[in-house]
Each structure stands twice: as structure tokens, then as C-alpha cells.
Amino acid sequence: MESIVGKTIIITGGASGIGLGIAEALITEGANLVLTSRRGELLVEQAAQLSAKGPGSAIAIAADVRSKADVQRVAQGAIDHFGGIDGLINNSGLGVQDSIEDCPEENWDLVMDTCAKGTFLMTQAVLPTLRQQQSGHIINVASQAAKNGYANAGPYCAAKFAVLGFAAALQEEVRQHGIKVHSLCPGLVQVPKPTHSADEMAGWLQVEDMANAVLYVLKQPKRVFLENIGLYGF
């Protein structure tokens, strides 16, 4: 298995929930992290706590993944602080509870811009560095909504379907540069993480399940490429 000790990995939506859970797992394995989110104060607090745990180190860069200037600042911040970029976890996302008929245009734009455009912009920002070093990982946190339709979740389904298509096309473009592109397609994930195991909801995934899946992908030998991984509560 490959080691991620000393690798620099950007995690979007890293201030809480799934993103924070992934960050906790990666820093324990010795990775250096760039956490980004719009929640600046919480982001700084979480990065400090993660760094204190180590053995990796974490920094916080507040940003909106819908903004090209913001994501470029995140990528440059990773290079300036850690000297490079080895991986990107596209985790930022949100949904709305609207039927297609009643969905306001601004809700459609919010979901599409965060989930799909944000993934595109963030990926575009890190690709020059990954291509130059001829290695790297891009992991998208998609959803079962990327493969199945759900009532009153049209914008979210559309955005996550787009992420899978985007990732498939991207993989064909960057394969020759040693860059791997993966997407995780989880079912329901219990967020926030329950304090006690007795409070875990039956049939739901836990945040650490997502973190373990990311670690599994990152630590595969260079010769191994995995298809999109579906995760379900049992």
C-alpha cells in the first residue's frame, strides 16, 4: 500500500461533517491538509485542533468553491505553505427540497454551482501542479443521487450526475499524467457524528466510513485503479 505521510491534500467543505471526518483520518496518517470552507472561524478552529493531534499539519483557507479567484487562492496557498499539492477531495455540496415544477431558479443555481461548478473550478485550479509532478489524486464525494433519481431532489441529482460525467471525462484527459480520479457514491450519511454508538441510525453510514473509503483509495498501489465506489448503510 502507498503511504500518504507528508502528502498535501486539499479538502473542500472541511470545517464539519464528512469533510472534517476525512480530515481527521488523513492527518492521523501523516498527511498535511488544506481545509477550505466558507465558515472561516470554524475552519481556523478545526485546523488548529487537527494540527495539535498530528502527526500531519493542517491550515485553513476560507473560500467559496463557486468563485474562481477563491479556489485559485486555495491552490496557491497549498503550494506556498506546503510546497505542493498531492490530492484534492471535492467534498463541498448541498441540496434543496424542491420539486422540479416549484424549484426557484436561484435554488437550482445554488446547488449546481456548489456541487458541479465548484468541483470543476477546484479541480481546474490544482491540475497544473498535479500534471507537472505527474502524479496525484482527485476524489469527488458524489452520492447515490449521482446514479438514481429522487423526488424533490432534482437539482441535487442533476449536479451529482454531472460530477460523475465530469470525473469520467477528466480521467481520460489526465491518465497519461499519472493522475487518478475517483468518485465516492454514498447513501445516507449520519451528520453530525453521534456522540455514542447507541445513537447511530440503522441503515445509515457514519462519517468514519467515508473517511475509511478515502484512505483506501489514496493508499492503493500505483498500478491499481478503482471504479466509482458505492457505499450503503447495512
Grid coordinates given for 177? 499524467
Q: What are phi and psi of 108, to 5 degrees?
A: -60, -50
Collapsed DSSP state (helix, strand, coil) of residue 7: coil
**Could you tell me which residues come within 8 angstroms of residue 35 by beta carbon, excluding any fewer than 6 positions away?**
11, 14, 15, 19, 23, 43, 46, 47, 50, 58, 59, 60, 61
Cα–Cα distance for residue pair 218/220, rounded to 1 Å = 6
**Is the CB of residue 63 less than 8 Å from the CB of residue 70?**
yes
Active-site residue 156, yes or no?
Answer: yes
Among residues 150, 156, 216, 232, which one is catalytic?
156
E strands within the chain?
Answer: 8-12, 32-36, 58-60, 87-90, 136-141, 179-186, 189-190, 205-206, 229-231
**Is the CB of residue 197 less than 8 Å from the CB of residue 168?**
no
Q: Which residue has the cell 475517483?
A: 182
Q: Active-site residues: which are they?
A: 156
